[in-house]
Amino acid sequence: MVQRQLPNPAELLELMKFKKPELNGRKRRLDKALTIADLRTIAKRRTPKAAFDYTDGAAEGELSLARARQAFEDIEFHPGILRPAPDVNTSVDILGGPSALPFGIAPTGFTRLMQTEGEIAGASAAGAAGIPFTLSTLGTSSIEAVRDANAHGRNWFQLYVMKDREISYGLTRRAAEAGYDTLMFTVDTPVAGARLRDARNGFSIPPQLTLGTIINAIPRPWWWFDFLTTPSLEFASLSTTGGTVGELLDSAMDPTISFEDLEIIRGMWPGKIVVKGVQNVEDSKRLIDLGVDGIILSNHGGRQLDRAPIPFHLLPQVVREVGKDATVMIDTGIMNGADIVASMALGAKFTLVGRAYLYGLMAGGREGVDHMIKILRTEIERTMRLLGVASLDELHPGHVTQLARLVPVSQSLTDAATAAAIKA
């Protein structure tokens, strides 16, 4: 028989400890977000459908994005035991300068449509965290405004080659004069991908007040208040707006972009230059042989060619072919600090996060971006400790196995033939 007694009032008082209520709604909201997925949930609740879907969506059937995220889920870590790592060093040297963490903020277009603080929130948060911030050609803050927001940090500029080459050349010169240290030459957008969510939502730049948008805005009045009471959107590279994102991109981008354009821009740029949007081994080798400072394995977050190669799957092959000392970076599908650790273990020198940044921005402006960085930092540090590594330099391919889910048919046939021969 269990002996029972009346509760001791003093013991009850010890158990009854209530947290002080948080009166700041933004902080209360963000404190509940433990993962990037949590930030996404908050962002979806607070942002009009068209703007949220522009961030969240990808091209056509969105297979490239789904596969990229699945690839990070389909990994197996191999921790070492009895290797204490109470203090971990997450810093790296990348493209001639330091970063306190092995990731930076990727370039994102039309950012102030997601949340009115836009690139200024991203740049200032990156500066506070000691990581690079990348401004897009299609950004909604000027090159100089971002420099001022991150005056003592590292600013990178992402460049599209426009039909009017003088626009691209002018942006390159402005970024150099503003002290940006790295140019991100983007090669995977000769034309716009088919972003079907945007088409179905009638998403335009700037957003139009229609019956549908008004109905969708009713539970989100703060977004429209911010949009209508802050300076109108301005784009350094677009002289006209008033169409869908695809229409704007197709009117501005040049499908004739070539290696010659890369050489011209390279001759104009005084700092480091990296090529973003590399999607096969052959192009990786050619670019490294040409002497670019780095390459970024990327399928544009799944927003261009659907069914494109998965950057995380491509990473070990490229590192093996171009050498461990080449600066190979990666983006697309990163939603957890463990994804970043796995990428570094397989040879990446750095990673970039885009959607994760925008989810934080939509969830809470500058504080939301700070919180996004905090989440990823915590996940990186915890994963490193559990693996038994005290610094990123200690990571190696033996720490990670990429589990096979998508195997090329030719490989499957080869394996089947080998198995049959052994059996015979």
**Mean pLDDT across 264-272:** 96
Q: Which amino acid is at 167?
A: I
219-228, 287-296, 379-388: lowest mean pLDDT where? 219-228
pLDDT (tens digit per residue) in 121-148: 999 999 999 999 999 999 999 999 999 9
**Mean pLDDT across 265-274:** 96
Res. 213 pLDDT band, cuts 50 70 90 = low
The DSSP result for 144-176, as a single string, is HHHHHHTTTS-EEEEEPPBSSHHHHHHHHHHHH
Res. 240 pLDDT band, cuts 50 70 90 = low
Question: Percentages helix, strand, coil for the chain, rounded to the nearest 5?
Answer: 50, 15, 40
pLDDT at 201 over 90: no
pLDDT at 49 over 80: yes
Higher-pLDDT residue of 16 and 131 is 131
Please tell me the predicted confidence (pLDDT) of residue 423.
55
Please tell me the predicted confidence (pLDDT) of residue 16.
75
**Mean pLDDT across 327-340:** 97
Cβ proximity of 131 and 124 under 8 Å:
no
Count CB-CB contacts under 10 A for residue 104.
25
Q: Which residues does the annotation mark as catalytic? A: 300
Please tell me the predicted confidence (pLDDT) of residue 191.
87
Q: Return all residues near 243 (Cβ < 8 A) that are at least 6 apart.
A: 204, 205, 251
Please tell me the predicted confidence (pLDDT) of residue 410.
63
33-47, 137-151, 207-221: lowest mean pLDDT where? 207-221
pLDDT at 211 over 70: no
Distance CA 157, CA 176 (A): 9
pLDDT at 159 over 90: yes
Res. 156 pLDDT band, cuts 50 70 90 = very high
Query: Residue 284 is inside which H or E element, if any?
Result: helix 281-290
Which pair of tokens denotes residue 372?
């996004």
Domain ranges (residues) in the chain? 25-66+92-377
**Mean pLDDT across 298-307:** 94
**Mean pLDDT across 319-334:** 94
User: Highest mean pLDDT range out of 179-183, 198-202, 242-246?
Assistant: 179-183
pLDDT (tens digit per residue) in 364-415: 999 999 999 999 999 999 999 999 999 999 999 999 999 988 777 665 555 5
pLDDT at 341 over 90: yes
**Mean pLDDT across 77-93:** 91
Mean pLDDT over all residues of the chain? 89
Alpha-carbon torsion angle 70, 71, 72, 73, nearest 10: 50
Residues of the chain above pLDDT 70, percent = 91
User: Regarding the domain with residue range 25-66+92-377, which homologous superfamily does it belong to in the CATH classification?
Assistant: Aldolase class I (3.20.20.70)
User: Highest mean pLDDT range out of 80-94, 240-254, 294-308?
Assistant: 294-308
Res. 190 pLDDT band, cuts 50 70 90 = confident
Higher-pLDDT residue of 325 and 368 is 368
**Nearest C-alpha neighbor of 358 from the set 19, 55, 30:** 55
Please tell me the predicted confidence (pLDDT) of residue 223.
80
Q: Return all residues near 331 (Cβ < 8 A) that are at least 6 apart.
A: 106, 276, 296, 297, 298, 301, 311, 351, 352, 353, 354
**DSSP character for 273?**
E
Cβ proximity of 190 and 302 under 8 Å:
no
9-18, 342-351, 396-405: lowest mean pLDDT where? 9-18
Residues of the chain above pLDDT 90, percent = 67
Please tell me the predicted confidence (pLDDT) of residue 418.
47
Please tell me the predicted confidence (pLDDT) of residue 416.
53
Please tell me the predicted confidence (pLDDT) of residue 81.
87
Please tell me the predicted confidence (pLDDT) of residue 259.
94
